[in-house]
Amino acid sequence: MAVTTTPSYCRFCHSCCPILVDVDGGVPVKVRGDRDNELFGGYTCVKGRQLPEQHTHPDRLLHSQKRQPNGTYAPIPVEQAMDEIAAKIGQVLADHGPLAVANYGGTYGQVHPATAPMQIALMNAIDSPRRFTAMTIDQPGKAIAKGLLGIWLAPPQGFDDADVGLIIGANPLVAVSGGLPNVNPRQWLKKAQQRGYRLMVIDPRVTETARKADIHLQPRPGTDIPLVAAILRVIIDESLYDHDFVASDVGGLDDLRRAVEPFTPEAVAALADVDADEIVTIARTFAAGPRGVATAGTGPNMSAAAGTLLEYLLLCLNTICGRWLTAGEKVWNPGTLVEPFPAMAMAFPPVTAYGFGQPLRVRGLADSLAGPSTAAVADEILLDGPERIRVLMSCGGNPVAAWPDQRKVVEALDSLEMLVQIDPWMSATARRADYVIAPKLSLEMPAMTSLFDMLPAYAPGFGWNKPHAQYTPAVVEPPEGSDVIAEWEFFFGLARRLGLELSLRPIDMNGPTGTAYPIDMSVTPDEEELFELLTAKARVPLETVKRHPHGAVFESDIHVAEKDAGWEHRLDVGNAQMLTDLADVAREMTADASTWAGADYPFRVISRRMFTRYNSGGHTLDALTEADPQNPAYMHPDDLAAIGVVDGDAVEVSSPRATVRAVAGVDPGLRRGLVSMTHAWGDADDLDDEPAGQAGASTARLSSVGDAYDRYSGQPVMSNIPVSVRPARN
């Protein structure tokens, strides 16, 4: 049969690279980059090129599964699964009320643009605030800090006219995430550096990105808050900040200056074990700009139990250096399939950013601008009482592999009345679920890039460098004889069975405040009509986007408007709570390295990402597992020698919480005293009996949710965990 080729876009990660899919006899056989898309220029990565294998893999679930009394799984028609799940939810709601029913949206909850909106509509209809996402175990400080600073009603400066970039603990050349545009970042960086762009990276490891940087600072992990405070101190002291912007739109500079006083470059250099002059150089280079933003990634957000303070100080840095678009400037990416960014040169005043809504029963937490704490879900399941979570619906995430404190998570999931996992494989979480719902995969569903329009508003240094948009039809039908369902259709099906009325909101920048429109519950909605509803406020109509099957850049002539007359509000760089927290950091600052490396746990495990995996995604695909069969514990060669281990040896990595096994890897570019491992590998069922390193363990087992955590988001320390490392015993 003839091979046909259809343009689409990749949904293995959030970058949405335009692709061409070869289909033979209804089966996807090959994916390659689409050179007809100018912005991406044919870029794809090794993960995206495995989409055909992902769709046709023998391990893929083609039927939903129900756990049997003996612990095995048997196929169940999805309609029957929905009947049973809805009946159970109905009963739990009647007996215990809405707090007993929780949902979790993970990484792949974003693959289809209607999934998250439908999931939220269902939670709205049952009136449950128990809506958890991966955001609170990622970089939740970003959303919360924005609320504390106040929101500049125009985007931060963009990528293409940046003179400098400061990336703290992110590795966009591998992660294709924050710091560089999510568009062929290697090529973008090369061109930018040719025109004079200067990249600065702060990372304890010589990462792929650090290797390309003009300046690389290699500090101890967990010292980013003092480092940013020192950078701020230099900039304020040397009067290098943007005086005009600060005079017109910023408040609290004097308080900020007083708060950063203890963070002299010398004191911080001793703490972080770097050169004080380099801190000063970074401060001066960043301030000189004149354009370009500072961005933090997951590393520093997970390394110090204070992601909110870190992100707040970074916003302060971008703010006093005037790195927001001002009146008259062109909005580089106003969004396409969403309502455009407001684009006014004025500050919306700070809002309540945490501690509101339904209180959680642990650690004094409640809701926040990043949502309620996912790290608290296990406690909320295990703690008895009328507010206990009894049902969890998890979509596109993998709690067992990715949530911190794996042992507690496993205990909690096993004590639920019902765990529903939507997953194309029997993942670590699926293997503990009562029902595993088999979803359609990306190439079997239409999609549009609407959700990714939000990235420039998420934080400075995120998103595409241009207003790109793409719509794709379904490229193939699901495999013959399969019984798979789109995630949104599953949530709709539950709602219908529960007799609920759902309302959907067009995707806009106003989040939960926008108007929601009721949908007809008598029939399953037409997918295209859902898309129309979701894009009702779009700057570029969906129809227009559809006329560009290879995706396109939809430039706008939106320029930032002047501030409203008489508008008095300012961005607040002197938030009292944040500066009190900073004073605590100053008090704890000690330059004594011997207290840094404890005797029992002399090393620290830090996080990293692997090019051939997407969190726990990709572990079944041959090309990816062949390229990276293990999750190595990378260490400096001198550290390996000191513990009597060579490359490839099996080791045990123990934190106060647990032990994982791994294979030693050599990384001469890593700071001494560190173990660099990626997350979300392996399973929970104890690998301790398996030959060391065979499956590759999850670092989630090493962390603990209750010891050190961000007070506002609840995010525990997930990187920079004290450990010991020794040769494995078998």
Ligand X SMILES: Nc1nc2c(c(=O)[nH]1)N[C@H]1C(S)=C(S)[C@@H](COP(=O)(O)OP(=O)(O)OC[C@H]3O[C@@H](n4cnc5c(=O)[nH]c(N)nc54)[C@H](O)[C@@H]3O)O[C@H]1N2
For ligand SF4, the closer CB: 184 or 704: 184
Binding of ligand X by 13 (CB under 6 A): yes
CB of 15 to ligand X, least distance (A): 8
Element spanning 447, H or E: strand 447-448
Other C-beta atoms within 10 Å of 414: how many? 11
CB of 335 to Mo ion, least distance (A): 21
Say which entry of Mo ion, ligand X, ligand SF4, none residue 44 contacts (CB below 5 to 8 A, set by partner kind). ligand SF4
The strand pair at 101-105 and 391-395 is best described as parallel
Binding of ligand X by 613 (CB under 6 A): yes
For ligand X, the closer CB: 345 or 419: 419
For ligand X, the closer CB: 34 or 224: 224
CB of 649 to ligand SF4, least distance (A): 32
For ligand X, the closer CB: 202 or 695: 202
For ligand X, the closer CB: 66 or 432: 432
CB of 181 to ligand SF4, least distance (A): 12
Tokens of 155: 């985007």
Residues near Mo ion (CB under 5 A): 138
CB of 134 to Mo ion, least distance (A): 6
Number of residues that bind ligand X (CB under 6 A): 65
Residues near ligand SF4 (CB under 6 A): 10, 12-13, 15-17, 44-45, 47-48, 176
Query: Nearest CA to 698 among 329, 403, 326, 288?
Result: 403
C-beta of residue 160 within 8 angstroms of C-beta of residue 331: no
Say which entry of ligand SF4, Mo ion, ligand X, none residue 16 contacts (CB below 5 to 8 A, set by partner kind). ligand SF4
Q: What is the dihedral of CA 39, 41, 45, 49, to 10 degrees?
A: 110
Tokens of 705: 């949710």
CB of 400 to ligand X, least distance (A): 9
For ligand X, the closer CB: 108 or 245: 108
**Phi–psi pair at 418, nearest 5 degrees:** -155, 130
For ligand SF4, the closer CB: 557 or 626: 626
CB of 469 to ligand SF4, least distance (A): 15
Binding of ligand X by 551 (CB under 6 A): no
For ligand SF4, the closer CB: 75 or 473: 473
Beta bridge partner(s), residue 67: 73
For ligand SF4, the closer CB: 12 or 73: 12
Binding of ligand X by 108 (CB under 6 A): yes
Say which entry of ligand X, Mo ion, ligand SF4, none residue 202 contacts (CB below 5 to 8 A, set by partner kind). ligand X
**How far lies 262's CA from each of 386, 496, 574, 618, in Å?**
47, 59, 16, 46
CB of 13 to ligand SF4, least distance (A): 3
For Mo ion, the closer CB: 138 or 278: 138
Spatial neighbors of 231 by CB under 8 A, at least 6 apart, are: 279, 282, 283, 286, 317
> Residue holding tokens 């939960």?
512
Query: Nearest CA to 469 among 555, 554, 342?
Result: 554
**Mask for 442-481, x = binds ligand X (CB under 6 A):** x---------------------------------------
> Residue holding tokens 């926040």?
368
Nearest residue to ligand SF4, by Cβ distance, number only: 48
The strand pair at 198-202 and 215-217 is best described as parallel
For Mo ion, the closer CB: 176 or 494: 176
Spatial neighbors of 319 by CB under 8 A, at least 6 apart, are: 149, 152, 245, 250, 571, 573
For Mo ion, the closer CB: 134 or 540: 134
CA–CA distance, 187 with 314 (Å, rounded to integer): 26
Say which entry of Mo ion, ligand SF4, ligand X, none residue 221 contacts (CB below 5 to 8 A, set by partner kind). ligand X
Taken in order 303, 305, 306, 307, is the CA torsion positive or negative? positive
Omega of the bond leading into 290 within 30 degrees of 0 (cis): yes
C-beta of residue 173 within 8 angstroms of C-beta of residue 208: yes
Tokens of 233: 């101190």
Spatial neighbors of 178 by CB under 8 A, at least 6 apart, are: 167, 170, 172, 295, 296, 297, 459, 461, 462
Among 34, 203, 249, 572, binds ligand X (CB under 6 A): 203
Residues 665-724 within binding reach of ligand X (CB under 6 A)? 676, 679-680, 699-700, 718-720
Looking at residue 215, what DSSP letter applies?
E
CB of 180 to ligand SF4, least distance (A): 12
Tokens of 75: 């196929």
C-beta of residue 348 within 8 angstroms of C-beta of residue 153: yes
Binding of ligand X by 156 (CB under 6 A): no
Q: Is 725 exposed, middle or buried (0-12, 13-18, 19+ CB in 10 A)?
A: buried
Among 117, 147, 222, 322, binds ligand X (CB under 6 A): 222
CB of 712 to ligand SF4, least distance (A): 31
CA–CA distance, 3 with 21 (Å, rounded to integer): 10
Say which entry of ligand X, Mo ion, ligand SF4, none residue 12 contacts (CB below 5 to 8 A, set by partner kind). ligand SF4
How many helices (H) and strands (E) in the chain? 25, 32
CB of 624 to ligand SF4, least distance (A): 11
Binding of ligand X by 402 (CB under 6 A): yes
Tokens of 604: 């620290």
What angle, rounded to 10 degrees, do the helices at 576-588 and 224-237 form? 110
Nearest residue to ligand X, by Cβ distance, number only: 299
CB of 394 to ligand SF4, least distance (A): 22
Give first-to-last CA distance, the chain, whole Å. Answer: 53
Say which entry of ligand SF4, ligand X, Mo ion, none residue 15 contacts (CB below 5 to 8 A, set by partner kind). ligand SF4
Say which entry of ligand X, ligand SF4, Mo ion, none residue 300 contacts (CB below 5 to 8 A, set by partner kind). ligand X
Residues that bind ligand X in the complex, under the rule CB under 6 A = 13, 106-108, 111, 134, 137-138, 168-172, 174-177, 202-205, 207, 221-222, 224, 297-300, 303, 395-399, 401-402, 422-425, 427, 439, 441-442, 487, 606-611, 613-617, 676, 679-680, 699-700, 718-720
